[in-house]
Chain A
Amino acid sequence: MFKNLAPPEYLATIDQVKCIRCKRCIQNCGWGVYSWGGDKVLINTSKCVKCLRCYHYCPEEAIQIVDNPTRFKQNAYWGYNNIRNIKRQAETGGIPLTGMGSDLPYTILFDNLLIDACQVTNPSIDPLREPMELRTYLGKKPSSVDVEKGKDGKLKLKTKMPPQIKIDLPVIFSPMSYGSISLNAQKVLAMAAKECGILMNTGEGGLHEDLLPYKDNIIVQVASGRFGVNPDYLNAGVAVEIKIGQGAKPGIGGHLPGEKIPLEVARARMIPVGTDALSPAPQHDIYSIEDLRQLIYAIKEATNYKPVSVKIAAVHNVAAIASGIVRAGADIVYLDGFRGGTGAAPSIIRDHLGIPIEYAIAAVDDRLRQEGIRNEASIVAAGGIRSSADAAKAIALGADSVAIATAALITMGCTTCGKCYTGNCSWGITTQRPELTARLDPEVYAERLINLIHAWEHELKEILGALGINAIESLRGNRERLRGVGLDAQTLDILGVKPAGR
Chain B
Amino acid sequence: MDHNYQKDISGCGLTGLISKKKRRLSGAEIVKSLCLMNDRGNGLGAGYAAYGIYPDFKDFYAFHIMFDEPSVRWTVEEYLKANYHIEKIEEIPTFPVKAISISPLLVRYFVKPLKERLVGEVQEADFVVNSVMKVNSEIEGAYIFSSGKNMGAFKGVGNPCDIAEFFRIEDYEGYIWTAHTRFPTNTPGWWGGAHPFTLLDWSIVHNGEISSYGINKRYLEMYGYKLTLLTDTEVAAYMLDLLIRRHGLSIPTACLALAAPFWKKIDDRDKDEREALTALRQTYGSALLNGPFSILFGHSKGLVGINDRIKLRPLVAAIKDDITYMASEESAIRAICPNPDTVWAPRAGEPVIVDLD
Q: Which residues of A contact B162 (CB under 8 A)?
A: none
Asked if B118 is an interface residue, CB under 8 A from chain A, the answer is no
A131 and B262 contact, CB distance less than 8 A = yes
Asked if A42 is an interface residue, CB under 8 A from chain B, the answer is no
Q: A474 and B288 in contact (CB under 8 A), knowing A161-B282, A468-B211? A: yes
Q: Which residues of A contact B356 (CB under 8 A)?
A: none
Which among A122, A156, A497, A502 is the interface contact of B276 at CB below 8 angstroms?
A156
Question: Which residue of B214, B247, B292 has the most chain A CB atoms within 10 A of its CB atom?
Answer: B214
Which among A130, A149, A157, A479 is the interface contact of B250 at CB below 8 angstroms?
A149
A155 and B214 contact, CB distance less than 8 A = no
Q: How far is the CA of A137 from the CA of B213 in the complex (A)?
A: 21
Q: How far is the CA of A497 from the CA of B1 in the complex (A)?
A: 10
A387: shortest Cβ distance to chain B, in Å?
22
Which among B4, B222, B246, B249 is the interface contact of A374 at CB below 8 angstroms?
B222
Which among A125, A146, A478, A493 is the interface contact of B212 at CB below 8 angstroms?
A478
A133 and B262 contact, CB distance less than 8 A = yes
Asked if A194 is an interface residue, CB under 8 A from chain B, the answer is no
Residue-wise, chain B 305-323 has the 8 Å CB interface mask toward A (1 for contact) of 0000110100000000000
Asked if B70 is an interface residue, CB under 8 A from chain A, the answer is no
Residue-wise, chain A 359-399 has the 8 Å CB interface mask toward B (1 for contact) of 00000000001001011000000000000000000000000
B290 and A154 contact, CB distance less than 8 A = no
Which among B4, B280, B292 is the interface contact of A147 at CB below 8 angstroms?
B280
Q: How far is the CA of A112 from the CA of B24 in the complex (A)?
A: 58
Q: A468 and B273 in contact (CB under 8 A), knowing A121-B11, A144-B247, A369-B222? A: no
B220: shortest Cβ distance to chain A, in Å?
10
B264 and A147 contact, CB distance less than 8 A = no
B276 and A157 contact, CB distance less than 8 A = yes
Question: Which residue of A133, A159, A478 has the most chain B CB atoms within 10 A of its CB atom?
Answer: A478
B126: shortest Cβ distance to chain A, in Å?
15
Which among B4, B209, B282 is the interface contact of A122 at CB below 8 angstroms?
B209
Which among A154, A473, A481 is the interface contact of B286 at CB below 8 angstroms?
A473
Question: Which residue of B6, B7, B275 has the most chain A CB atoms within 10 A of its CB atom?
Answer: B275
Q: How far is the CA of A471 from the CA of B215 in the complex (A)?
A: 12
Q: Which residues of B contact A213 (CB under 8 A)?
A: none
Q: A147 and B215 in contact (CB under 8 A), knowing A131-B264, A141-B282, A497-B3? A: no
Q: Which residues of B contact A143 (CB under 8 A)?
A: 247, 283
Asked if B221 is an interface residue, CB under 8 A from chain A, the answer is yes
B291 and A122 contact, CB distance less than 8 A = yes
Which among A147, A164, A468, A477 is the interface contact of B282 at CB below 8 angstroms?
A164
B273 and A155 contact, CB distance less than 8 A = yes
Give the residues from 415 to 461 in chain A that come closer than 8 angstroms, CB to CB, to chain B.
none
Asked if A215 is an interface residue, CB under 8 A from chain B, the answer is no
A369 and B221 contact, CB distance less than 8 A = yes
Residue-wise, chain A 137-171 has the 8 Å CB interface mask toward B (1 for contact) of 10001111111011000111101010010000000
Residue-wise, chain B 232-261 has the 8 Å CB interface mask toward A (1 for contact) of 000000000001001111101100000010
B279 and A145 contact, CB distance less than 8 A = yes
Q: How far is the CA of A155 from the CA of B10 in the complex (A)?
A: 36
A141 and B211 contact, CB distance less than 8 A = no
Q: A122 and B222 in contact (CB under 8 A), knowing A161-B279, A481-B214? A: no
Asked if A239 is an interface residue, CB under 8 A from chain B, the answer is no
B283 and A144 contact, CB distance less than 8 A = yes
B74: shortest Cβ distance to chain A, in Å?
34
A122 and B292 contact, CB distance less than 8 A = yes
Q: How far is the CA of A450 from the CA of B84 in the complex (A)?
A: 64
Q: Which residues of A contact B286 (CB under 8 A)?
A: 473, 476-477
Q: How far is the CA of A164 from the CA of B276 in the complex (A)?
A: 14
Asked if A210 is an interface residue, CB under 8 A from chain B, the answer is no
Q: Which residues of A contact B310 (CB under 8 A)?
A: 125, 130, 470
Interface residues on A, range: 35 or more
Asked if A123 is an interface residue, CB under 8 A from chain B, the answer is yes
B44: shortest Cβ distance to chain A, in Å?
14
Q: Which residues of A contact B7 (CB under 8 A)?
A: 480
B259: shortest Cβ distance to chain A, in Å?
11
Q: Which residues of B contact A155 (CB under 8 A)?
A: 253, 272-273, 276-277
Identify whether the interface residues of A are mostly helix, strand, loop, or mixed. loop
Residue-wise, chain A 47-83 has the 8 Å CB interface mask toward B (1 for contact) of 0000000000000000000000000000000000000
Give the residues from 213 to 234 in chain B that come closer than 8 angstroms, CB to CB, to chain A.
213-215, 217-219, 221-223
B268: shortest Cβ distance to chain A, in Å?
13
A468 and B283 contact, CB distance less than 8 A = no
A479 and B290 contact, CB distance less than 8 A = no
Q: How far is the CA of A130 from the CA of B309 in the complex (A)?
A: 11
B215 and A478 contact, CB distance less than 8 A = yes
Q: How far is the CA of A121 from the CA of B9 in the complex (A)?
A: 7
A122 and B283 contact, CB distance less than 8 A = no
Q: Which residues of B contact A497 (CB under 8 A)?
A: 3
B312 and A480 contact, CB distance less than 8 A = no
Q: How far is the CA of A146 from the CA of B247 in the complex (A)?
A: 8
B272 and A154 contact, CB distance less than 8 A = yes
Asked if A218 is an interface residue, CB under 8 A from chain B, the answer is no
Question: Which residue of chain B has the shortest Cβ distance to A131 in the bound complex?
Answer: B262
Asked if B52 is an interface residue, CB under 8 A from chain A, the answer is no
Question: Which residue of A154, A161, A471 has the most chain B CB atoms within 10 A of its CB atom?
Answer: A471
A147 and B279 contact, CB distance less than 8 A = yes
A114: shortest Cβ distance to chain B, in Å?
15
A496 and B221 contact, CB distance less than 8 A = no
Q: Which residues of A contact B222 (CB under 8 A)?
A: 369, 372, 374
Asked if A467 is an interface residue, CB under 8 A from chain B, the answer is yes
Residue-wise, chain B 190-203 has the 8 Å CB interface mask toward A (1 for contact) of 00000000000000
Asked if B208 is an interface residue, CB under 8 A from chain A, the answer is yes
Which among A130, A468, A473, A481 is the interface contact of B288 at CB below 8 angstroms?
A473
B270 and A478 contact, CB distance less than 8 A = no
Q: How far is the CA of A353 from the CA of B277 in the complex (A)?
A: 44
Q: Which residues of B contact A469 (CB under 8 A)?
A: 211-212, 290-291
B290 and A471 contact, CB distance less than 8 A = yes
Q: Which residues of A contact B9 (CB under 8 A)?
A: 121
Asked if B346 is an interface residue, CB under 8 A from chain A, the answer is no
Asked if B339 is an interface residue, CB under 8 A from chain A, the answer is no
A246: shortest Cβ distance to chain B, in Å?
29
Q: How far is the CA of A121 from the CA of B291 in the complex (A)?
A: 10
Question: Which residue of chain A has the shortest Cβ distance to B250 in the bound complex?
Answer: A149
Asked if B104 is an interface residue, CB under 8 A from chain A, the answer is no
Asked if A298 is an interface residue, CB under 8 A from chain B, the answer is no
Q: A145-B280, A155-B253, A496-B1 are in contact. List 12 more A-B contacts (CB 8 A).
A: A122-B211, A122-B291, A122-B292, A125-B310, A143-B283, A149-B250, A154-B273, A157-B276, A157-B279, A468-B211, A476-B285, A498-B3
7 smallest CB-CB distances across A and B, nearest first, come from A480-B214, A473-B285, A474-B212, A474-B290, A478-B214, A144-B247, A155-B276
A-B contact pairs, 17 of them (CB 8 A): A121-B10, A121-B185, A123-B312, A143-B283, A145-B284, A154-B270, A154-B273, A157-B272, A159-B279, A161-B282, A375-B283, A468-B209, A468-B291, A474-B291, A476-B215, A476-B286, A496-B3
Q: Which residues of B pack against A, CB within 8 Å?
A: 1, 3-4, 6-7, 9-11, 185, 208-209, 211-215, 217-219, 221-223, 243, 246-250, 252-253, 260, 262-264, 270, 272-273, 275-277, 279-286, 288, 290-292, 309-310, 312
